[in-house]
């Protein structure tokens, strides 16, 4: 997922949120507030993505160590 994908997804979430609000409430919330919400959502997505990437990197490190160990045993 690229940075742009995460931002676009965050914007979609905010747009969906806006659509659920009554018009009277929606009028009270400024574009600046919606932009801040978009950034917070994007940040949350980024944290999740980084966490998953780190977990996968650790799994790959373990797998690489196991493969090296198996190679040494077969030599």
| Angle at the Cα of 73 from the Cα atoms of 70 and 75, rounded to 5 degrees | 110
Quick: pLDDT tens for 5-27.
999 999 999 999 999 999 999 99
Domain of 59, in residue numbers: 3-74
Q: What gap in Å lies between CA 14 and CA 41, rounded to an integer?
A: 8
Local structure of 29: helix, strand or coil: coil
Total structural domains in the chain?
1
- The enclosing H or E element of 58 equals helix 31-74
Look at the pTM and tell me if it is higher than 0.85.
no
Residue 73 pLDDT level (bands cut at 50, 70, 90): confident
Residue 49, SS3 per DSSP: helix
φ/ψ (deg, to 5) at 12: -65, -40
């Amino acid at each position: 997922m690229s940075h742009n994908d995460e931002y676009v997804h965050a914007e979609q979430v905010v747009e969906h949120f806006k659509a659920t609000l009554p018009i009277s409430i929606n009028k009270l919330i400024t574009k600046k507030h919606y932009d801040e919400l978009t950034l917070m959502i994007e940040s949350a997505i980024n944290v999740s993505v980084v966490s998953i990437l780190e977990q996968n990197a650790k799994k790959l490190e373990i797998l690489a160590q196991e493969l090296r160990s198996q190679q040494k045993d077969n030599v």
